[in-house]
A and B are shown apart, each in its own frame.
Chain A
């Protein structure tokens, strides 16, 4: 049994504050879902937990079983049991998926311990077939030439093999068709145990047909404004967020989009001359 605590977390990106005091506590054997309108900081929360270099924590704490996560490097967080399934996984030319996954498995072992090749192949082949992935995928370069859906499945493949305590799934459902969504959802759902919990970030309720959440949280304006169970999720799915905004007296400001007129640059240059 493990515990992940997020306490009064404030996070800025390029000087702009995105998270303004997030509080969240979760245990293994629990699935939490975070919903919320676009641009409210869901992905920021996910990336910050993992330690992405772009996000600056200005205040607050993240604790994993009481240990200070924020003082850990990205790789330490991973080895301590955190996992981020990314919305846009990187492509690595020249490195095969299996080589990458094997190195990641090896990184979890103590000094002098070697991963058994037999165990590795068994784990890889097992997970590949459970995710109904193309069997040649492990031998291809990491995410290179993968379709959107293949990339997402590849994230879940790593999740299944690396077996973290907590997984953060950042919009893992985008780019998946109905069948893939079911396969991915069921695979994650089956992992739920005393040793595994997940924080699921999503726009769509459909993924949650397969990943059954225990708790629902709504993130708005950089804070968790409401937490509840399945009923909260269903209400949002049916009615959207307006009722909640009204109740809380929140006016979310849509991103200011600057108007771009095509040809301006050229015109300016001509005038400048």
Chain B
């Protein structure tokens, strides 16, 4: 059966519009210690933060490039603008947000989403958070939810205690870059025993050509507390490369639970290099629900450090590499304590010459007695010109724990297509149904609104390409 129609899936970028926004201040192109110090001063930060930034910048300067994955050494750090302030102060009332910025968010449907599903919203536009709203009942529970810059001003002690601890300054080249120039992101603290039922949500957008966005997210879940955080990314389309290097640090204390859901849909010119890591204490549970649809190059391996007994880590992810895209994604589970468990479910799809890799690490240390891990990687290749590799690293350093690993690679099956078409579905509808079925284990983990959006995104793109 002819699979020509598959070549066009995922080519039209639905959110590829731009908004004309007047920037209030930027640091100009390029990075130096001077630029780093300027950012810190612009933000009126305490001296210790400025020193961390400078220390991180020096680490970044060593240029310890990743020794794996896609070739990114042609990134020219002098081309990027590292800090842009687009509105003078953070707005807490939607009416005060500039009209053209609102227009952008309207196109993304964020206000409607807020009404239906969200307990609190903070939206980042370029580097500064312009809209932030936390529902009062959360405040009454003692939950802290604000942009990261505000958190540094308001809660310096707790901030200092946890910042750059799970992802230290020296961790890797791009987390060091982020630590040096970070701006915006979300800060969440959930006090002891507080369980938040509704997901908390945030949207990020890059809106200036060749601007690097370096948001920093810090989530602390205290003992027995629980939270579901949803991060949404869509960006306007530009012709020149843009860099996104974010860091997400999560600290889960004894018996705490955190789920972090993302559907990353950067336009296909973004280089996305993200460090996401959670530190999980005894009986805590971290879940990464991680979707990767967009960006040109994407390197992202959400990690769980299972530090206490009975700690649990879960990653459910999809990666979709379309024409011109290279998705190098996966998961890391580092077991450091007895009876820790982890599960990784990874679904990869490629088409139109796209490349999608699963790169994962599961390590059971000497102390991780009776640890258990299950890894499942499935790949669906939609045409002859697309490629995929599965690169798992499974290490067991004791003699009582075990790791299960399953991997499958398949193509859209002609008999399945015939079966669905024999019931009246067009070839496009049938293909779409098979793809949606393939990613169902991921989609079912998303909040309803996101699952619908993901579904719509794939449907629209397929319908648009087939006519």
Q: What is A's interface to B at a CB cutoff of 8 Å? A: 50-53, 73-75, 77-79, 83-84, 86, 89-95, 99-101, 103-104, 107-108, 141, 158, 162
B425 touches A75 (CB 8 A): yes
Q: How far does the alpha carbon of A91 sit from the alpha carbon of B418 in the complex, in Å?
A: 12
A141 touches B433 (CB 8 A): no
What residues on A are CB-neighbors of B426 within 8 Å? 73, 75, 107
B420 touches A100 (CB 8 A): yes
Interface string of B117-130 (1 = CB under 8 A from A): 00000000000000
Report if B421 contacts A (CB, 8 A): yes
Interface stretch of the complex, out of B332-340, B396-404, B435-443: B435-443
Known: A53-B1, A90-B413, A90-B416. A75 touches B427 (CB 8 A): yes
Q: How far does the alpha carbon of A255 sit from the alpha carbon of B433 in the complex, in Å?
A: 39
Shortest C-beta distance, A208 to chain B (Å), equals: 24
Report if B93 contacts A (CB, 8 A): no
What residues on B are CB-neighbors of A73 within 8 Å? 421, 426-427
What residues on B are CB-neighbors of A91 within 8 Å? 416
Q: How far does the alpha carbon of A75 sit from the alpha carbon of B415 in the complex, in Å?
A: 14
A103 touches B433 (CB 8 A): yes
Residue of B nearest to A77 (CB): B422
B419 touches A104 (CB 8 A): no
What residues on B are CB-neighbors of A99 within 8 Å? 433
Please name 13 pairs of A and B residues whose Cβ atoms are closer than 8 Å in the assembled complex, sorted by A.
A50-B422, A53-B414, A74-B421, A86-B419, A90-B420, A92-B433, A93-B437, A94-B438, A94-B440, A99-B433, A100-B420, A104-B423, A162-B423
Report if B434 contacts A (CB, 8 A): yes
Residue of B nearest to A74 (CB): B421
B440 touches A78 (CB 8 A): no
Residue of B nearest to A141 (CB): B437
Q: How far does the alpha carbon of A95 sit from the alpha carbon of B438 in the complex, in Å?
A: 8
Q: How far does the alpha carbon of A101 sit from the alpha carbon of B420 in the complex, in Å?
A: 10
Known: A74-B418, A92-B416, A95-B433. A107 touches B1 (CB 8 A): no
Q: How far does the alpha carbon of A89 sit from the alpha carbon of B423 in the complex, in Å?
A: 12
Residue of B nearest to A53 (CB): B1
A75 touches B437 (CB 8 A): no
Q: How many residues of B contact A (CB 8 A)?
A: 25
CB under 8 Å from chain A, chain B span 313-354 = none
B424 touches A94 (CB 8 A): no
Residue of A nearest to B434 (CB): A92
| Selected contact of A75 from candidates B421, B434, B436, B441, CB within 8 Å | B421
B429 touches A94 (CB 8 A): no
What residues on A are CB-neighbors of B422 within 8 Å? 50-51, 74-75, 77-78, 83-84, 86
What residues on B are CB-neighbors of A51 within 8 Å? 422
What residues on A are CB-neighbors of B430 within 8 Å? 75
Interface string of B436-455 (1 = CB under 8 A from A): 11111100000000000000
Shortest C-beta distance, B239 to chain A (Å), equals: 37
Residue of A nearest to B423 (CB): A104
What residues on B are CB-neighbors of A101 within 8 Å? 423
Residue of A nearest to B426 (CB): A75
B423 touches A158 (CB 8 A): yes
What residues on B are CB-neighbors of A83 within 8 Å? 422-423
Shortest C-beta distance, A12 to chain B (Å), equals: 18
Shortest C-beta distance, A101 to chain B (Å), equals: 8
| Selected contact of A100 from candidates B414, B423, B438, B439, CB within 8 Å | B423
**A-B CB proximity, top 3 nearest:** A94-B437, A94-B440, A107-B424
What residues on A are CB-neighbors of B421 within 8 Å? 73-75, 78
Residue of B nearest to A80 (CB): B424
Shortest C-beta distance, B15 to chain A (Å), equals: 26
Shortest C-beta distance, B175 to chain A (Å), equals: 35
Known: A94-B436, A94-B437, A103-B433. A89 touches B427 (CB 8 A): no
Q: How far does the alpha carbon of A51 sit from the alpha carbon of B421 in the complex, in Å?
A: 10
Shortest C-beta distance, A25 to chain B (Å), equals: 23
Shortest C-beta distance, B158 to chain A (Å), equals: 42
Residue of A nearest to B347 (CB): A94
Q: How far does the alpha carbon of A100 sit from the alpha carbon of B414 in the complex, in Å?
A: 17
Q: How far does the alpha carbon of A141 sit from the alpha carbon of B416 in the complex, in Å?
A: 13
Q: How far does the alpha carbon of A202 sit from the alpha carbon of B420 in the complex, in Å?
A: 24
Q: How far does the alpha carbon of A248 sit from the alpha carbon of B421 in the complex, in Å?
A: 40
| Selected contact of A90 from candidates B419, B424, B436, CB within 8 Å | B419
A78 touches B424 (CB 8 A): yes
